[in-house]
């Protein structure tokens, strides 16, 4: 995969092309971004280009012996380090020296989840970065770059992957997943610009059912006339869901679409424009805003605290019902 085949991140592509073309790339590069944002694809494209023997344009040629070896996952001068268990350990960093002790030619070591290096491993890497062997490049990938030693960060050229445009993610889903435009459009909106998240949703066979259940719950809550018995039963069944966090997100989007339509009447801004309009029910903005706040608060409490899920969900549903009653 070359830079030109990767979607989005145009400023990063231009910068790397320029640095490689004029041989200004640092021997240590950090690529940071949330899970699923494409760090590995960018790291691999960078490694392939560094090792390419005909990359005068700043792009890998994909034809030279090095590019062909790289594409077949069989490049002797490319080495990937990933955590051994939960950590990257000092012996793994030391193994780089042993592996790349021979002089001459370019060599690339890609380190995944660099933030989980132990303090000893970080010190060992720092020693290598302070006096880097000729031709050896490090590409560090990280979701949490702030957890890296400042002394390591300061020796890296640092790049951050930004969320992709919805249209780009939609096109990816249509071309790579053979998905229809309507579903690709919904998943692109739910992906928050992260391609890995869009692929995860695309492969989730329970997604369509979950989306319908969330919409059905939103409709019944908006009716404002659910009995207390049914509300408590619903809270129990929600508490037992393994996909509760994703379900609450979809529930939140159902109310969010209602809010958007009340506010600006522009269905291009809806997460799910093809759905029967929850928003034509004439609900008031404060009730919709309150429902969204309640769901966000509940999601936060569920993720950050060790609360009783059932009690928390009962409270959320009862308070929402009161707002719509």
d(CA 191, CA 198): 5
List 1, 61, 71, 239, residue binding Zn ion (CB under 5 A): 61
Q: Interface mask (CB under 5 A) for Zn ion, residues 65-84, using x and -?
A: --x-----------------
Residue 133 neighbours by CB distance under 10 Å: 14
Q: What crossing angle do the helices spanning 195-203 and 166-177 adopt, rounded to 10°?
A: 40
Q: Give me the least distance between CB of 29 and Zn ion, in Å please.
A: 19
List, as one string, the DSSP characters of 175-233: HHH---HHHHHHHHHHTTT-HHHHHHHHH-TTHHHHHHHHHHHHHHHHH----HHHHHH
Q: Are 258 and 272 in contact (CB under 8 A)?
A: no
Contacts to Zn ion from residues 251-280, by CB under 5 A: none
User: Residue 32 or residue 52: which is nearer to Zn ion going by CB?
Assistant: 52
List 52, 148, 172, 260, residue binding Zn ion (CB under 5 A): 52
In degrees rounded to 5, what are phi and psi of residue 31? -115, 115
Strands 157-160 and 107-111: unpaired
User: Residue 66 or residue 113: which is nearer to Zn ion going by CB?
Assistant: 66
Stretch that binds Zn ion, among 62-70, 73-81, 146-154, 214-222 (CB under 5 A): 62-70
Stretch that binds Zn ion, among 61-69, 79-87, 180-188, 221-229 (CB under 5 A): 61-69
Q: Give me the least distance between CB of 49 and Zn ion, in Å please.
A: 8
| Sheet (strand 157-160) strand order | 78-81, 107-111, 136-142, 28-32, 157-160
User: Residue 43 or residue 58: which is nearer to Zn ion going by CB?
Assistant: 58
Q: Give me the least distance between CB of 66 and Zn ion, in Å please.
A: 5
Q: Give me the least distance between CB of 101 and Zn ion, in Å please.
A: 25
Stretch that binds Zn ion, among 46-54, 100-108, 121-129, 234-242 (CB under 5 A): 46-54
d(CA 27, CA 260): 48
User: Residue 61 or residue 153: which is nearer to Zn ion going by CB?
Assistant: 61
Displacement of CA 75 from its chain's centroid (Å): 28
**Angle subtended at Cα 101 by Cα 100 and Cα 102, rounded to the nearest 5 degrees:** 95
Contacts to Zn ion from residues 104-163, by CB under 5 A: none
Q: Interface mask (CB under 5 A) for Zn ion, residues 191-210, using x and -?
A: --------------------
Q: Give me the least distance between CB of 70 and Zn ion, in Å please.
A: 8
User: Residue 35 or residue 65: which is nearer to Zn ion going by CB?
Assistant: 65
177 is written with which tokens? Answer: 């997943």
102 is written with which tokens? Answer: 């021979």
Q: Give me the least distance between CB of 59 and Zn ion, in Å please.
A: 9
70 CB-near residues (< 8 Å, 6+ apart): 47, 48, 51, 52, 60, 78
Q: Give me the least distance between CB of 2 and Zn ion, in Å please.
A: 9
Query: Is residue 64 near Zn ion by the rule CB under 5 A?
Result: yes
Q: Give me the least distance between CB of 76 and Zn ion, in Å please.
A: 15
Contacts to Zn ion from residues 281-310, by CB under 5 A: none
**Residues forming the site for Zn ion (CB under 5 A):** 52, 54, 60-61, 64, 67
């Amino acid at each position: 995969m070359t830079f030109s085949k990767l979607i989005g991140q145009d400023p990063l592509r231009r910068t790397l092309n320029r640095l490689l073309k004029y041989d200004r790339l640092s021997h240590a590069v950090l690529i940071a971004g949330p899970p699923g944002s494409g760090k590995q694809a960018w790291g691999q494209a960078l490694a392939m280009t560094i090792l390419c023997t005909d990359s005068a344009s700043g792009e890998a040629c994909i034809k030279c012996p090095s590019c062909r070896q790289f594409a077949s996952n069989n490049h002797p001068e490319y080495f990937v380090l990933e955590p051994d268990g939960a950590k990257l350990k000092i012996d793994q960093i030391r193994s780089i020296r042993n592996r790349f002790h021979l002089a001459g030619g370019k060599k690339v070591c890609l380190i995944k989840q660099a933030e989980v290096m132990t303090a000893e491993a970080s010190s060992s890497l720092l020693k290598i970065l302070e006096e880097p062997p000729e031709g050896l490049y490090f590409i560090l990938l990280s979701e949490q770059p702030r957890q890296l030693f400042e002394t390591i960060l300061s020796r890296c050229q640092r790049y951050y992957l930004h969320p992709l445009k919805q249209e780009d993610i939609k096109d990816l889903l249509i071309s790579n997943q053979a998905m229809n435009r309507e579903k690709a459009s919904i998943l692109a909106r739910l992906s928050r610009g992260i391609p890995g998240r869009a692929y995860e949703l695309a492969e989730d066979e329970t997604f369509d059912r979950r989306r319908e259940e969330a919409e059905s719950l939103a409709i019944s809550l908006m009716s404002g006339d659910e009995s207390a018995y049914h509300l408590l039963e619903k809270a129990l069944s929600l508490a037992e869901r393994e996909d509760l966090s994703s379900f609450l997100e979809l529930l939140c989007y159902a109310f969010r679409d209602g809010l958007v339509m009340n506010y600006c009447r522009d269905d291009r801004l809806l997460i799910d424009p093809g759905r029967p309009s929850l928003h034509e029910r004439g609900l008031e903005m404060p009730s919709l805003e309150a429902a969204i706040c309640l769901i966000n608060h509940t999601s936060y409490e569920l993720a950050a605290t060790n609360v009783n899920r059932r009690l928390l969900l009962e409270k959320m549903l009862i308070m929402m019902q009161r707002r719509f009653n």
